[in-house]
Amino acid sequence: MRQALTIATFCAAGALFAAPARIDYGRDVRPILSENCFHCHGQDSGKRMANLRLDTAEGARPVLASGKLYQRITSESKALRMPPAASNRSLTPDQIAVLKQWIDEGGGYSKHWAFVPPVKASIPEGENAIDALVRRRLDAEGLKLNRPAAPGAWLRRVSLDLTGLPPTPEEIAVFEKKPGYAAEVDRLLASRRYGERMAMDWLDVARYADTHGFNNDAERSMWRWRDWVIESFNSNQRYDRFLTEQLAGDLLPRPTLDQRIATGFGRNHVINSEGGIIDEEYRVEYVADRVRTLGMSWLGLTLECARCHDHKYDPVTQRDYYRFYAFFNNVPEIGEDGRVSNAVPMIPAPTADQQKKLQDLEASMARLTAKVDAKATSWRWHKKYARLFDAAKPAGATIDVPCAGACVFDGEKPMTPGQGTPISKRGGLTMSAWIEPSPGDRDVPLLSAIDYARNRAATTYGTGIELRLTNGELEFRFGARFPAYSIRVRTEGAGLAPGERHHVALTYEGAAGKNVNRVYAAWVHAYVDGRELPMRVMHDGFPLPDEKSDKGSPTRFRIGWDNSPDGPRFAGRFHGIAFWDRALTGPETAALFESSALPPAVAAKQPSAIETGWLRRAVLRREDPAYKEREAVRGEWFALRREMPTVMVMDELSTPRETHVLLRGGYNTPGEKVEPGVPEHLLGGWPEGAPRNRLGLAQWLTKPDHPTTARVVVNRFWQQIFGQGLVKTSENFGVQGESPSHPELLDWLAREFIDSGWDVKALLKQIVLSGTYRQDSAASKELIARDPENRLLARGPRFRLPAETIRDQALQFAGLLKNREGGPSVRPYQPAGLYTGLVVAADYPGTSYVESKGDDLYRRSLYTWWKRTVPHPTMTVFDAPDREFCIVRRSNTNTPLQALTLLNDPIFVEAARKLAERAMAQEQSSAARLALMFQLASGRAPDDQDREILGRSFERMLAAYKADGKAARAFLAVGASPADSSLPAAELAAYAAVANMILNLDEVITKG
């Protein structure tokens, strides 16, 4: 019966259409063949039975002409009858009748509607296209558009749809005095809240979350991408750009930071850091996830069905799948990554504010540097300056190898002497040396205590600490497993040239005394010749073990070599090596350098150019105000850079990874090699001259004649507003998807969207100003029974609000909502101990929930911290997904757990109290106060009967709280915001209890 039910649902779209005089293959026949026959007689050649295919005219012609098909589907013999009983599929008499009529009418085939580019139907002059096309359908059904909704109801509906928040009483008053529908829509579209509302749905599609998912489910930082989405909608970025930048922003010519941040879309997938997994197995999953997301979000095709074999229903082969896959297979990523923070590739992503500050600081530095440099040409060394030099070597070095002449280590391979320096994640460290590289030193270890001797697949590969010289830059590595679980930073602009002698120092601050649960790359500072250098963070994923397992053990370093079996050696010279078991400060590092650099320079009869430079800088440091100021600004600049958030992005390997068809989808079973490409016969040709990469893919998707992209996108916007798409299966426009209820309307909207320059605001404006949208949602029982899902659109939309909106509007009624836009996600109230017994034992960032304070308790719900394995229950109870993968439509359920949440969740109880306080402050009589609360929440004035029910409830509550002051005070104490103590407790509690009821009303949590 279950199956019968689903089939009944499946045929629904067909049944809603007026009975056709003539059979239409795409509408009437293909769904039947697809469901019942294509599995064995379709496009998957691997599974094809009897060498018969029914999905093409050529394949079917013989059995249609001979009458054999009809014989087999009507055969009395169990053995002959198709589909076979064992398939769990069967044809109904109606379906057989349809097939018979189709065969009798010639058995014609046509291309599936979604693969034919949309064309605009002609609309009579002066008519609203949406209404005209909806009416066309209603006329056929003998129905009419419903009466328009009351202006206030429309305003509430459109405000919720476009901003996710209800209108304020002031907005309602203004509108009701002079209803200007178009002006109101413009106002809402211009609101900053609009972008937040639009982002809500896109975050589901893009599987945005604040944790990586899987077993460890530690924190990630993708909020810069989320804020990019909000900004993109608010600035009404063309949708083709919105798509292009997310898919391939990094491949645009000279990409901006924002365009690179946009590519975070491709990295929002789950990432596994479970120890011991096989890297490649998961890397393949990430690529597959990108293909699936592409299919669902823009193509409207279930591409992933072709991962292991040719698609059973749609004409997508396994080879097609891997050609899509090839576009996304070139990311320099690691299968096992993301244990404590973002996975590579990632970039620093300063906020607009930070970018501005950085620019200002850089301008100041440039100005001051010019000032300093201006004096440089005339500057001459004089012995008198020598008395300024007071630098002494910092005390307490754990290792000090003077190498007074020069130590050459090639071939000798010694270690640092003595007991070694204690290394732990908590303790600080300084490593320093005078080096003089040789020309061959491209990527060589300087001071190494890291283990490269093991198998690279081992979880212990790369444990340890190291300083390297890489193309003239210093690189520091400190890891539990290299590279994923390490900090790896490289200087920018050190320029350590062969034959030049320089002092290098590296300090690591250590976690001691910091309230953290991971190690940060920002704790590393690098200095060349006593001066700090900016660094590029390449990996920042180093976990912090518990204190017991982090005892510093004395470590001896290999000088100039590491223990990899075949790694290169440093071939230059060392002139002194020293370690400290603490991080030297900036001034100390300068002193360390000067204490060994200046005396010989001062003593030199004729200082070299480099030595002169050292002397000059040492003098300026002490005497020149401009120099001092510049260094202070530079310090600020460093500090700000350390605070910048990062975001995971798409990037391309310089040498492309080969893509092979993976047999049965297995990561370890490569087959035929394939190149990036698309099924052009199906979805249109590759744009001329477009590159064969993600950028070309974006150009192909946004070609004006692409058959699915615009349809899929407008359908989803329609779904956002009407509760379901014109194509109900908004994730699947393939042959197994549902046919559109209004095909001409879908096509008209898609065409119009493209012609308008992919203008989202214009599209939404058109929809919400249509008569179709403005209809009253109330209808007769008969009409609802006839069209329960409102597919015919003979009434306005009415459905329960999304999780985020239910909470957000309650905060707004209460005056609690804090409309601060963007930034890191926040942690509102959550039941205590929710993570107990669920999260991983290790203390990774994101495994404990520390409630936010102050305003952050009351931010919009799209900023709520989204932990994939234990999402916030106030969201999930109202059908928000866990965001482990792309979802394009949520369920809309109605459960007792929702009732318990709205009645008892502290945020709703607190909101009820604040709503009551608001009413008491604004009105005097109890009737007026109750009416105000009701009106604020529902958007309409209560009628007499409503008032009577509210009044009775209030009297009942008031009597109870007057008799029990303790209960009243207890009720008022729920929530972090204080209750207004100037109000009588019993009365306030009684209003709050009624407000609690109001927030539970169907019409309050429903958009009607």
**Contacts (CB under 8 A) with other proteins, residues 138-177:** none
Binding span for other proteins by CB under 8 A among 227-235, 240-248, 379-387, 961-969: 961-969
The answer to whether 700 touches 690, Cβ cutoff 8 Å, is yes
Length of the chain: 1008
Residues 220-279 that bind other proteins (CB under 8 A): 270, 272, 274-279
Residues 828-887 that bind other proteins (CB under 8 A): 831-834, 836-841, 847, 868-871, 873, 876-877, 879, 882, 884-885
Q: Is 951 helix (H, G, I), strand (E, B) or coil?
A: helix
Q: Any long-range contacts for 454-462 (C-beta under 8 Å, 24+ apart)?
A: 457/278, 457/279, 459/275, 459/276, 462/486
For residues 708 and 468, give the distance between their C-alpha atoms in angstroms, rounded to a whole number. Answer: 51
To other proteins, the closest distance from the beta carbon of 574 in angstroms equals: 32
Binding span for other proteins by CB under 8 A among 1-9, 101-109, 259-267, 397-405: 1-9
For residues 866 and 345, give the distance between their C-alpha atoms in angstroms, rounded to a whole number. Answer: 22
859 pairs with which residues across the strands?
Answer: 818
Q: What are phi and psi of 660, to 5 degrees?
A: -120, 150
* Residue from the set 421, 719, 775, 901 that interacts with other proteins by CB under 8 A: 901
* Residue from the set 80, 374, 388, 457 that interacts with other proteins by CB under 8 A: 457
For residues 445 and 468, give the distance between their C-alpha atoms in angstroms, rounded to a whole number. Answer: 4
Q: Is 524 helix (H, G, I), strand (E, B) or coil?
A: strand
Binding span for other proteins by CB under 8 A among 52-60, 154-162, 852-860, 990-998: 990-998
The site string for other proteins over 188-227 (x = CB under 8 A, - otherwise) reads: -------------------------xxxxx----------
For 355-391, the DSSP string reads HHHHHHHHHHHHHHHHHHHHHHTT----GGGGGG---
Q: Which residue from 664, 662, 699 is spatially nearest to 678, judged by alpha carbons?
A: 699
Q: How many CB atoms lie within 10 A of CB 714?
A: 27
Residue with Cβ nearer other proteins (327 or 971):
971
Distances from the Cα of 410 to the Cα of 441, 448, 496, angstroms = 12, 15, 19
The site string for other proteins over 710-739 (x = CB under 8 A, - otherwise) reads: -------------------x-xx-xxxx--
Tokens of residue 279, six digits: 């890297």
Residues 554-573 that bind other proteins (CB under 8 A): none
**Residue 968 engages other proteins in binding (rule: CB under 8 A):** yes
* Residue from the set 904, 921, 928, 941 that interacts with other proteins by CB under 8 A: 904
Q: Which amino acid is at 918?
A: R
* Residue from the set 891, 925, 981, 982 that interacts with other proteins by CB under 8 A: 891
Residues 292-311 that bind other proteins (CB under 8 A): 302, 305
Binding span for other proteins by CB under 8 A among 100-108, 390-398, 639-647, 972-980: 972-980
Residue with Cβ nearer other proteins (389 or 829):
829
Binders of other proteins: how many residues, by CB under 8 A?
128
**Buried-state track 308-339, b at ≥16 Cβ within 10 A, e below 16:** ebbbbbbbbbbebbbbbbbbbbbbebbbbbbb
Residue with Cβ nearer other proteins (398 or 996):
996
The site string for other proteins over 771-790 (x = CB under 8 A, - otherwise) reads: ------xxxxx-xxxxxxx-
Residue with Cβ nearer other proteins (698 or 779):
779
Binding span for other proteins by CB under 8 A among 439-447, 655-663, 850-858, 949-957: 949-957
Alpha helices of 795-895 — where are they, by DSSP H? 803-814, 873-876
- Laid out side by side, the sheet with 473-481 consists of 535-540, 485-491, 473-481, 464-470, 443-450, 558-559
* Residue from the set 649, 957, 979, 988 that interacts with other proteins by CB under 8 A: 957
For residues 474 and 490, give the distance between their C-alpha atoms in angstroms, rounded to a whole number. Answer: 6
Q: Which amino acid is at 780?
A: S
Cis peptide before 687 (omega within 30 of 0): no
* Residue from the set 51, 945, 981, 982 that interacts with other proteins by CB under 8 A: 945
Residues 45-104 that bind other proteins (CB under 8 A): 88
* Residue from the set 72, 969, 976, 980 that interacts with other proteins by CB under 8 A: 969
470 pairs with which residues across the strands?
Answer: 443, 473
Residue with Cβ nearer other proteins (256 or 460):
460
* Residue from the set 518, 716, 798, 918 that interacts with other proteins by CB under 8 A: 798
- Distance spanning both ends of the chain, measured CA to CA: 33
* Residue from the set 246, 342, 898, 926 that interacts with other proteins by CB under 8 A: 898
**Residue 5 engages other proteins in binding (rule: CB under 8 A):** yes
Q: Which amino acid is at 804?
A: E
Binding span for other proteins by CB under 8 A among 344-352, 531-539, 700-708, 941-949: 941-949
**Residue 1008 engages other proteins in binding (rule: CB under 8 A):** yes
To other proteins, the closest distance from the beta carbon of 392 in angstroms equals: 46
Residue with Cβ nearer other proteins (349 or 794):
794
Q: How many CB atoms lie within 10 A of CB 93?
A: 8
**Residue 900 engages other proteins in binding (rule: CB under 8 A):** yes
Residue with Cβ nearer other proteins (305 or 331):
305
Residues 332-351 that bind other proteins (CB under 8 A): 336
